[in-house]
Amino acid sequence: MTFGARARVVNPRLGTYFSIFAALFTALFLLVLIFEQLNLNESLLRLAFFAGPILIYAGIGLSVGSNDTLNYFAAGRRVPAAYTGLLLAASAMGATFLVAGTGVFFFAGFDALVLLIGTLTGLVVMAITLAPFYRKFGAFTVPSYLGRRFDSRPLRIVSAAVVAVPMLLVLSAELRMGAEIGGRLVAINPSFIVCVLALSVAIITGPGGKRSFTWAGVAQSIALFLALLGVATVVSVIITNLPIPQLANGPIARGLVRNEVNEGLQLINVWPLAFDLPGDGFAALTKPYMQPFGDVGVLSFGLAILSIAAGISTAPWLLPRVAATPSVYEARKALGWATVFSGLVLLTVSSVGIFMRDFVLDAVMSERLGPLPKWLFEAAAAHLVSFDQNAARLAFNGLHFDRDGVLFALPIATGLPQAFVYLLLAGALAGALVTAGATTVSLSAVLGEDVVQGMSWEPVRPDVRVWISRGFAGVVAVCGAALTIIAPTDPLRLVFWALSLTGASLFPVMILSVWWKRLTATGAIAGVISGFVTAAVAILMSEIGAISTPSPIAGTLALPVSLALAIGVSLLRQEMTRHTLEIVRDIRVPGGEIIYDREMQRLQLRKHART
């Protein structure tokens, strides 16, 4: 293992490599577009868009395999800020916020801004209070960080057990979402697609762990951005003549305000704790787009922002990402990029919602303007919308849209060729693979490092260490696939649960571990356990109807409990050692050695001295 910063120079050819990937992906799209016009077999084109990108990702993952510990667990600490930011943004949102998120914007309008505000707040809080310090510490997993920071093995094992749950939930959500998206591309059994996706995630992440995931994941994120921004820009040019989908839909939004109410959509004020975001499956529009608090109550709006923000800022599948940046300064910049990228995607998603609302409004008003628009029948044939096809006139309550199909209905509604739908599907599939990969890599590292070797700090031989985690990557992929097939649940709900569980159990302890010197190991254990148990109980009680707080945000109620216990137990008994005090002081200063590497070297020396 090398220590100086000079050994971690950034590869100067990164830009070239990923330009080649972007060109390949664009070429695939253009080829499919051409062949579609030449009336080539449609299922062949769909298969090309399903298998082609996955083969490229697998190729990238396999080509950067490595058995070196630093490469396997931290991508060699040489991932520049912009790439880290791209990955953070893509894996924070995943296919769930992209596909289900578009549906949520389409149905809930203003209320869907919880996703945008929550995600951005989470990233800003992470940038300011956690990321630079986590990078200075340099641990490969969140439980390793907590365990080393408090010099406590019980804390390490407890937090490993706790973080495994939300990561499995997110993995399952993304695989489910991926199966749904893949099912629109290739007509095979969804369970089989789940297995294919889990296998490809294992193949992509197995050879080089975080290093493989990083470079394959950057390619996947680029595919996601190209697909979403490309299609949205084309649609925006067609409808508004301006190539800025995020800003150009203003006049359309004004039209929505004026006409939706006339056509029968009324704002019904809900009670402050309501949280009725659209669930899985088909539903009719009930709420005007622009008015706030028709689906989500004021109080729930705040709680949901807190839940998403706390979850994202300490997510154990996102935070270790910054340990792979070359320096603390780069880690800070990476979060800036992540904010830019995720804001851009979520604003684009919101504009897709507005465009689709406009098309639906046209359809509803079509009785006076002419026959029903043709795209409705095409979208119905693609199972994106259902309505009475013999009706002469449709009201809003006669049109039922699939929440997870709104994004893919956009090119159909605009009258674009099918290739644009495939492009969006491939982009969304890439999003599912990024987040599935991020959770698989982090969870396998947690299981291999903190559970199996959790009882001892002394690391085993580097190659054994890597192979243990590699084995767990396969185990995690199998578990994720099994969970997805056995217990299919609404992906958006799963992600909400995962974020509130993470936020409640980790957020207070992680923040205090940097910003409050007196937090003790016992206090941290109390905070993590109480937060997790209270959040899990709150979610379960809400699911069976024992408490009235909706289950996606019920977990947040545990956050104050965890905070109070962590502080209270720490105040009871002081147990600060000179060593942990030294670590806290070092975390706070960007300069100097990476603490984790230094500690590992110290342990290695001690081991050598003994033998």
Q: What residues line the site for other proteins (CB under 8 A)?
A: 5-6, 110, 113, 116-117, 120-121, 123-125, 127-129, 132, 246-247, 249-254, 257, 290-293, 298, 301-302, 305, 327-329, 332-333, 335-336, 339-340, 343-344, 346-347, 350, 585, 588-592
Phi, psi of 279 (to 5 degrees): -90, -170
CB of 333 to other proteins, least distance (A): 6
In the bound state with other proteins, the residue whose beta carbon lies nearer, of 26 and 291, is 291
CB of 117 to other proteins, least distance (A): 6
Q: At 394, which amino acid appears?
A: L
CB of 492 to other proteins, least distance (A): 19
Comparing C-alpha atoms, which of 442, 174, 470, 475 is closest to residue 324?
A: 442
d(CA 515, CA 139): 18
Instruction: Tell whether the torsion through CA atoms of 405, 411, 415 and 418 is positive or negative.
Output: negative
In the bound state with other proteins, the residue whose beta carbon lies nearer, of 135 and 156, is 135
CB of 407 to other proteins, least distance (A): 18
Alpha carbon distances (Å) from 450 to 83, 259, 458, 459: 27, 57, 12, 11
Please say whether the beta carbons of 346 and 118 come within 8 A. no
CB of 514 to other proteins, least distance (A): 10
d(CA 431, CA 454): 32
Residue showing tokens 């409050």? 516
d(CA 128, CA 332): 8
Region for 287 from its dihedrals, namely left if φ exceeds 0, alpha if ψ lies in -120 to 50, beta otherwise: beta
CB of 96 to other proteins, least distance (A): 19
d(CA 215, CA 309): 27
CB of 575 to other proteins, least distance (A): 22
In the bound state with other proteins, the residue whose beta carbon lies nearer, of 316 and 326, is 326
Residue showing tokens 């340990």? 323
CB of 469 to other proteins, least distance (A): 28
CB of 605 to other proteins, least distance (A): 21
CB of 305 to other proteins, least distance (A): 6
Alpha carbon distances (Å) from 507 to 29, 191, 357, 447, 513: 42, 35, 37, 21, 10
**Containing H/E element for 284?**
strand 282-284
In the bound state with other proteins, the residue whose beta carbon lies nearer, of 129 and 366, is 129
Please say whether the beta carbons of 179 and 481 come within 8 A. no
Helices (H), 384-461: 406-414, 418-445
In the bound state with other proteins, the residue whose beta carbon lies nearer, of 40 and 117, is 117
In the bound state with other proteins, the residue whose beta carbon lies nearer, of 122 and 207, is 122
Residue showing tokens 């009258």? 415
Torsion, Cα 214 216 221 223, to 10 degrees, reads 170
Rounded to a whole number of angstroms, the CA Rg of the chain reads: 24
In the bound state with other proteins, the residue whose beta carbon lies nearer, of 258 and 461, is 258
CB of 274 to other proteins, least distance (A): 15
Residue showing tokens 């289950």? 551
Alpha carbon distances (Å) from 163 to 243, 302, 337, 371: 42, 24, 26, 54
Comparing C-alpha atoms, which of 339, 337, 350, 332 is closest to residue 312?
A: 339
Comparing C-alpha atoms, which of 597, 319, 317 is closest to residue 459?
A: 597
In the bound state with other proteins, the residue whose beta carbon lies nearer, of 122 and 178, is 122
CB of 121 to other proteins, least distance (A): 5
Phi, psi of 386 (to 5 degrees): -130, 140
In the bound state with other proteins, the residue whose beta carbon lies nearer, of 302 and 471, is 302
CB of 148 to other proteins, least distance (A): 21
In the bound state with other proteins, the residue whose beta carbon lies nearer, of 139 and 185, is 139
In the bound state with other proteins, the residue whose beta carbon lies nearer, of 117 and 603, is 117
In the bound state with other proteins, the residue whose beta carbon lies nearer, of 130 and 185, is 130
Please say whether the beta carbons of 308 and 94 come within 8 A. no
CB of 515 to other proteins, least distance (A): 8
In the bound state with other proteins, the residue whose beta carbon lies nearer, of 347 and 416, is 347
Start-to-end CA span in the chain (Å): 21
Strand partners for 401:
283, 385
d(CA 125, CA 216): 27
Region for 77 from its dihedrals, namely left if φ exceeds 0, alpha if ψ lies in -120 to 50, beta otherwise: left
